[in-house]
Amino acid sequence: MSVPTLTTSRLVLRGLRAEDTGAVLRVFADPETSRYFAADFSDPGQCRAMIGRRLAYEGPEGQGHWVLEHEGEVVGLAHLRPSAELPGKAAEIGYFLDPAHGGKGLATEAAQALLSHGFATLGLPAIWAVVHESNVASRKLAARLGFLDMGEGEHYGATHRILVALPAVHGRLHHVELWVPNVARIEASLGWLLTELGWGEFQRWRDGVSWKHGATYVVAEKSPALSSARHDRLAPGLNHLALHAGSESRVDELSAAALEHGWRPLFPEKYPHAGGPQHYAAYLENEDGFEVELVAVAHNAGTGR
C-alpha cells in the first residue's frame, strides 16, 4: 500500500521500500532505539522480520509506513495505521529516530507531519499513541503535540499510556449561509434531510433558521437583499452541499424518502455512480434549485460535479 511523500522544513517522509532495509537496520542498531519494545530490534534478525512485516502491510489508502530522511540520510521510521491494540476507526501513530539524531526536534517534526496528514488529508476522527509507561521522553513529546492522556493499559506485552489526539478546530468549516426565497420550503426539504443526518436546530429568527452538527452549522435565511427567487447552481457560487450519509443502503433509503420532502433526483440514469464508479452517492435538487449530494461511507466526497 503506497503512502504519500510528506515534507517538513528539515525532513522528507516517504514510503518504506525494501532497499531501505540496511538504513533501518542502522537506525535500530543502538539498543536504546528499541529499549521500550518487547522485541530487541538491535538484533538484525528481529529487525529484518519487523521490516518485512511493514513492507507486507496492506491497509487503508494513505496509511502505512514511512522512513524519515534528513539531508538525504534515513534517520528514522514512522507509521500511521489502524491500531492492532485499540478499537474503532482511529489510527495509531509511531515514530522512531536514530539516537544519533536526537535532541534536534526531528521526531516532533515527523509526528506533526503525520498528524496533519491524518486529520487534514485523511479526515481521521482521532489518532492514538501507545507509549510505554517508562518512556518519559516520548510522553513529554506527545504532550507537546497536544495528545491527551487517557490512562494506562496492558498493550504490546507491557503497561503503556494510552494517548489520543483530536482534530483541531483551526481551518475547519465554521458555517455555510444560504440565502433562500422561502424559509418554510427550505425547512421542509433541507431541514428534514439535515435532521435525518443527525443535525439539530441551532437558532431561529423571523427570517431564518439554522441547523448544527458538531462545531459546524448551516444557515437558511430570506435576506431583504435577495436578488432572485431561485438559486442557480450553474452560476458562479455555491453548486451543492455534499454530506456524509452513512452506508450505501442508508443513501438508498434517504434518496427514496427525499422524494416526499421536496427533492427530485439528479442524474437518475447514473445512480448511484454519477460521480464515478468508485463513488456511491445520491444527487438531489429541491424546488428552489439547491442541490445536495449524499455520500456513502468509505467513499470520497467532492467529485467536482
Model pLDDT for residues 213-271, shown as the tens digit of each residue? 988 999 999 999 999 988 999 999 999 999 999 999 999 999 999 999 999 999 999 99
pLDDT digits (tens, 9 = 90+) for 10-32: 999 999 999 999 999 999 999 98
CA–CA distance, 1 with 61 (Å, rounded to integer): 7
* Judgement on whether residues 241 and 128 belong to the same structural domain of the protein: no
Smallest Cα–Cα separation from 55: which of 94, 97, 20, 5? 20
* Judgement on whether residues 138 and 38 belong to the same structural domain of the protein: yes
CA–CA distance, 287 with 17 (Å, rounded to integer): 54
> How many structural domains is the chain composed of?
2
The reply to whether 304 falls in a domain is: no
* Judgement on whether residues 202 and 138 belong to the same structural domain of the protein: no
* Judgement on whether residues 46 and 84 belong to the same structural domain of the protein: yes
* Judgement on whether residues 181 and 124 belong to the same structural domain of the protein: no
The beta strand positions in the chain, using DSSP E, are 6-7, 11-15, 64-70, 73-82, 91-97, 127-132, 148-155, 158-165, 175-179, 200-205, 208-213, 216-221, 241-246, 263-265, 281-286, 291-296
CA–CA distance, 271 with 103 (Å, rounded to integer): 55
Domain boundary among 112, 143, 165: 165
CATH number of the domain to which 142 belongs: 3.40.630.30
User: How high is the pLDDT of residue 195?
Assistant: 96
Which amino acid is it at 180? V
The reply to whether 302 falls in a domain is: no
Cβ–Cβ under 8 Å, residues 176 and 133: no
* Judgement on whether residues 223 and 250 belong to the same structural domain of the protein: yes
* Judgement on whether residues 107 and 149 belong to the same structural domain of the protein: yes
Domain holding 231, by residue range, is 175-296
* Judgement on whether residues 137 and 215 belong to the same structural domain of the protein: no
* Judgement on whether residues 186 and 290 belong to the same structural domain of the protein: yes
Domain boundary among 113, 139, 165: 165
The reply to whether 242 falls in a domain is: yes
In this structure, how many other beta carbons lie within 10 angstroms of the beta carbon of residue 91? 23
User: How high is the pLDDT of residue 95?
Assistant: 93
CATH number of the domain to which 206 belongs: 3.10.180.10
* Judgement on whether residues 187 and 156 belong to the same structural domain of the protein: no
- Residues of the chain scoring pLDDT < 70: 1, 298-305
